[in-house]
Amino acid sequence: MIKGFIFDLDGVLTDTAEYHYLAWKKLADRLGIQLDRKMNEQLKGISRMDSLDRILAIGNQMDRYTLEEKEKLADEKNEDYKELILEVTPNDLLPGIANLLADLRAKDIRLALASASKNGPVIMERLGIADMFDTVVDPATLAKGKPDPEIFIKGAQQLKLKPIECVGVEDAQAGIESINAAGIFSVGVGTKEMMKEADYAVTSTQELKLEEILKRANQ
């Protein structure tokens, strides 16, 4: 019996995945590294420093910067990202998300956020949905990021539920891997190819219907 939903944020509740891409792209351009949308798929769900490492690897610049310099580069990206998210309003909830959250609350299903983003709480406030969530996993407390299951296991624990009583929703391959490894029913939003490991996949958030998800997860 499903009693909780654990959501990723970027690319699931709102399209901040695009803002992450734009901010990384700006930094990559400055460093002379070519980053495109296809490569960006591999950055989804990955922590800020891990993303920077992957970008530097793409440009064969892994050994070019000290840890201190890398922290500066990551800060630079984050400052640009924070500028972009100043524009976020409740209108930026992805299609179907407001209805889904309302349906979940109407059924007393508990909600957790499992985002790798340290900007998550600010974005939830800006979207006007912070109060609907029972708990937020603090990414700063994690030993390992997605695809490790830790973040979704913590989400279930914070909801005081067992993994089998939860559904996890993700748009990143690393996120689906994390949900699956946690023993949670995974719902993926994205192309068939990217979401092939998901227990149930849809191509857009508009198709995330509570009854359809519960029918499959409760089987």
Mind telling me the catalytic residues? 8, 10
* Choices 8-16, 64-72, 132-140, 160-168 (CB under 5 A): range interacting with Mg ion: 8-16
Closest distance of CB 132 from ligand BG6, Å:
19
Closest-CA residue to 135 (of 161, 171, 100, 169): 161
Q: Does 43 bind ligand BG6 (CB under 6 A)?
A: yes
Whether residue 147 has a cis bond before it, omega within 30° of 0: yes
Q: Using the rule CB under 5 A, which residue among 41, 171, 177, 199 binds Mg ion?
A: 171
Q: Using the rule CB under 6 A, which residue among 13, 14, 20, 169 binds ligand BG6?
A: 20
Q: Residue 47 is which amino acid? A: S
Q: Which residues of 99-110 are buried (b: 16+ CB within 10 A; e: fewer)?
A: ebbebbeeeebb
DSSP code at position 135? E
Closest distance of CB 120 from ligand BG6, Å:
7
Q: Does 11 bind Mg ion (CB under 5 A)?
A: yes
Specify the residue, 51 or 135, whose C-beta has the smaller distance to ligand BG6: 51
Do strands 4-7 and 135-136 pair parallel, antiparallel, or not at all (unpaired)?
unpaired
Tokens of 63: 């050994």
- Judged by the rule CB under 6 A, the positions of this chain that interact with ligand BG6 are 9-10, 17, 20, 43-48, 51, 78, 115-119, 172
